[in-house]
A and B are shown apart, each in its own frame.
Chain A
Amino acid sequence: MGFYLRQSLLGIVAAVVVACGERSAVVTGEVVDDLGRRVTLSAPARRVVSLSPAITELLFAIGAGDLVVGRTQFDKYPPGVAEIADVGDGLDPNIERVVARRPDLVALYASNANERAMRRLTDMGIATVSIRLDSLTSVARGARMLGRLTGTARRADSVARAFEAERDSALRVPPPASTRRVLILAWDNPPIIIGARSFLSELVRLSGGENVFGDVDAPSATVAVETIAERNPDAIVFFAEDAPTFAQRPEWQTIPAVRMRRFVFLEGSEFEYPSPRAFRALERLRAGLAEVVR
């Protein structure tokens, strides 16, 4: 015994300590979420309720899809989400239904509307993380955050890096010959346009276009038809499955893009929020604009 034993014991203890430390560095998650809150989990989350379609998609993308036990009524992608329990609205959610899923982590959209819900859940001892997935840069960040909390950090990190690579190559695509001035129209009566602070506006910019309402510093706004006529967009991006009814209304004919039927119809959840599919969306937008604005 004596010296060699003591050395071995020390060695074993040291190895155990180091091993524990390393596992804790990989397994325990501590992140600062998008509302500046420090979220700490002692073990990776095993049951996650996602209160945003963007977060749900991201969880699936980083390999944590089977951890999702609850989702909002609006979640559409990937197709498997239909089987997951629906807990209702994502903003100001129904706490009872969320808690009934026995989650150890609830991921919400970072918004004031969710403050009350976050407090209630925290009081009940359920960890909450709030993520603002509203722009392309937020996708990589969100993926990494969720990865650390669900023990899928490696996979999440590779998804994030792939996303960043796609983004870089997208930025390297040469812009079209002339800047296309684009109107992003969400609704026609009253006319609701998409402003600068939105994912769609970002996509338009990346596709080499200019949002004619880029001076509106809000996600959306109501405007008069004459404002649209004055700004005279080259193309109108509209989200519908078929031709919009406003195209036949007489007052919209004052807009040349309407008269010349320069519409780009986009449909699909990849346009509704930033996700790993964002660049597919960008491609469709580019193609649509190229076809319409020759």
Chain B
Amino acid sequence: MTRWAALFALAAAALVAGVALGPADMSWSESLAGLLGRGDETAVTIVRELRAPRVLLAFLVGGCLAVTGAALQALVRNPLADPYLLGLSGGAGVGAVLAIALHLGGAWAVPAAAFVGALVAIGLVYRLALVAGAGIDPRVLLLAGVVVSAFGGAILGAIFSLSSAAELRNAMLWLLGGFDAASWRVLAMFTSYAAIPVAYLYYTSRPLDLLSLGEEPAQFLGIDVERVKRRLYVAASLLTAACVAVSGIIGFVGLVIPHAVRMVLGHTHRTLLPAAFLLGGTLLAAADAVARTAFAPRELPVGVVTALVGVPVFAMLLRRWTT
């Protein structure tokens, strides 16, 4: 029980820190007062309209990425899986860049195009991974994801080097990940959308446990393996595509958080998934706060911060793994 209490406490701390810290020159008390609507008008606006939705969005995206990572690790039976093995990062990037190159209008053109691009890439990977009309072969899935991602990346590289337009180069910066576009509206949209695949993943906790034994044993223990794999794949894809559309590509959360949770709470997905959600959200909310404040007034891409934190943590985990 104390472990859960610690998780919740960490999450709460990250949320509070995210609201209290920021590049704007405000003290902790000013920020927290601003949250309650008291104090300088600018401070209130900043805290309520900018920081609060941003911190919450970072938390939600972090949680979704962690949960997706855990589910995919069970699906492909590989502890090194993460949401981007689905192959969608290149697709999302190409979608966003196309939206800018074609001057597609509207404030939401880029995220919508990134979302579509991600889904196209996933569809391609899925098609490749279907072997002889049979089910999803996890090994082929892994390879297909790498290939499609590399392909998308190559297209982006070509665009980057051949294009003279500064806009396209700037579009690529978005890909590095960031929560600048957060607002209450985005938060509402994302939450209502993401709730469904997250709920499905949680509901599939038992099959996820059984899948880790292998597909045949799982079948013998009562799982319709092909159906579960398909649905898991779809849920994970929809969730990751939405995360990328909202905040670009943020690595390490989906890979490292499930392992960290497993070390403390074990493998049963019924507890692993909610804990991963909490810890992933905590990590990303904290990383976003660091990205905003470390070099104020300049801002780092969030993906850089998660990588800087993620790599040493990953090294630690690897050591633990091999002993």
Binding site for B on A (CB under 8 A): 73-74, 186-187, 189-192, 213, 215-216, 221-227, 229-230, 232, 245-246, 248-251, 253-254
Residues of A within 8 A of B182 (CB): 251
Nearest residue in B to A249 (C-beta to C-beta)? B107
Contact (Cβ within 8 A) B170 A225: no
B181 touches which of A73, A232, A251 (Cβ 8 Å):
A251
Instruction: Given A74-B164, A225-B50, A254-B45, check contact A190 B109 (CB 8 Å).
Output: no
Residues of B within 8 A of A221 (CB): 297-298
Residues of A within 8 A of B184 (CB): 250
B107 touches which of A73, A216, A248 (Cβ 8 Å):
A248
Q: How many residue pairs between the two chains, A and B, have CB atoms under 8 Å in the bound complex?
A: 95
Contact (Cβ within 8 A) A251 B183: yes
Q: Nearest 6 A-B pairs (CB), nearest first? A: A230-B24, A250-B183, A251-B183, A187-B170, A226-B50, A248-B107
Contact (Cβ within 8 A) B298 A222: yes
B23 touches which of A187, A189, A226 (Cβ 8 Å):
A226
Per-position binary interface string of chain B over residues 104-148, scored 1 when its CB falls under 8 Å from any chain A CB and 0 otherwise: 011101100000000000000000000000000000000000000
B299 at interface by CB-CB < 8 Å: yes
In this complex, which of B164, B173, B298 has the most chain A Cβ atoms within 10 angstroms of its Cβ?
A: B298
Contact (Cβ within 8 A) B181 A224: no
CA–CA, A232 and B46, complex, Å: 11
Pull 15 A–B residue pairs with CB atoms less than 8 Å apart, ordered by A. Answer: A189-B110, A215-B297, A221-B297, A221-B298, A224-B297, A227-B297, A229-B42, A229-B46, A230-B25, A230-B42, A248-B107, A249-B107, A249-B181, A251-B181, A253-B49
- Shortest C-beta distance, A226 to chain B (Å), equals 4
CA–CA, A187 and B178, complex, Å: 14
Per-position binary interface string of chain B over residues 265-306, scored 1 when its CB falls under 8 Å from any chain A CB and 0 otherwise: 000000000000000000000000000100011111100000
In this complex, which of B50, B166, B170, B292 has the most chain A Cβ atoms within 10 angstroms of its Cβ?
A: B50
B173 touches which of A74, A192, A225, A248 (Cβ 8 Å):
A192
Residues of B within 8 A of A229 (CB): 24, 42, 45-46, 50
Nearest residue in A to B51 (C-beta to C-beta)? A226
- Shortest C-beta distance, B21 to chain A (Å), equals 11
- Shortest C-beta distance, B62 to chain A (Å), equals 18
Contact (Cβ within 8 A) A222 B107: no
Taking CB atoms and an 8 Å cut-off, the chain B residues in 159-188 that contact chain A are 164, 166-167, 170, 173-174, 178, 180-186
Instruction: Given A223-B297, A223-B299, A229-B42, check contact A251 B170 (CB 8 Å).
Output: no
Contact (Cβ within 8 A) A224 B45: no
CA–CA, A251 and B182, complex, Å: 7
- Shortest C-beta distance, A200 to chain B (Å), equals 13
Contact-size category for B? 35 or more
B251 at interface by CB-CB < 8 Å: no
Contact (Cβ within 8 A) B42 A224: no
B46 touches which of A191, A230, A245 (Cβ 8 Å):
A230
- Shortest C-beta distance, A270 to chain B (Å), equals 16
B22 at interface by CB-CB < 8 Å: yes
- Sample of 13 more A-B contacts, CB < 8 Å, known A187-B166, A251-B180, A251-B182: A186-B166, A187-B167, A187-B173, A189-B180, A192-B170, A192-B173, A221-B297, A223-B298, A226-B24, A227-B296, A248-B106, A251-B181, A254-B46
In this complex, which of A191, A192, A226, A230 has the most chain B Cβ atoms within 10 angstroms of its Cβ?
A: A226
CA–CA, A232 and B186, complex, Å: 23
- Shortest C-beta distance, B189 to chain A (Å), equals 11
Instruction: Given A190-B180, A223-B298, A251-B181, check contact A245 B42 (CB 8 Å).
Output: no
- Shortest C-beta distance, B28 to chain A (Å), equals 15
CA–CA, A73 and B163, complex, Å: 10
CA–CA, A275 and B47, complex, Å: 43
CA–CA, A191 and B174, complex, Å: 10
Contact (Cβ within 8 A) B299 A190: yes
Contact (Cβ within 8 A) A245 B106: yes
CA–CA, A186 and B165, complex, Å: 13
CA–CA, A74 and B106, complex, Å: 28
Contact (Cβ within 8 A) A245 B164: no
Nearest residue in A to B100 (C-beta to C-beta)? A189
CA–CA, A248 and B183, complex, Å: 12
Contact (Cβ within 8 A) A250 B298: no
Residues of B within 8 A of A226 (CB): 22-24, 46, 50-51, 292
Residues of B within 8 A of A232 (CB): 42
CA–CA, A73 and B162, complex, Å: 11
Instruction: Given A223-B23, A254-B49, A254-B50, check contact A190 B107 (CB 8 Å).
Output: no
- Shortest C-beta distance, A120 to chain B (Å), equals 20
CA–CA, A187 and B180, complex, Å: 12
Residues of B within 8 A of A190 (CB): 173-174, 178, 180, 299, 301
Residues of B within 8 A of A224 (CB): 22-23, 50, 180, 292, 297, 299
Residues of A within 8 A of B292 (CB): 224, 226
CA–CA, A250 and B53, complex, Å: 11
CA–CA, A226 and B180, complex, Å: 9
Residues of B within 8 A of A187 (CB): 166-167, 170, 173
In this complex, which of A187, A189, A250 has the most chain B Cβ atoms within 10 angstroms of its Cβ?
A: A189
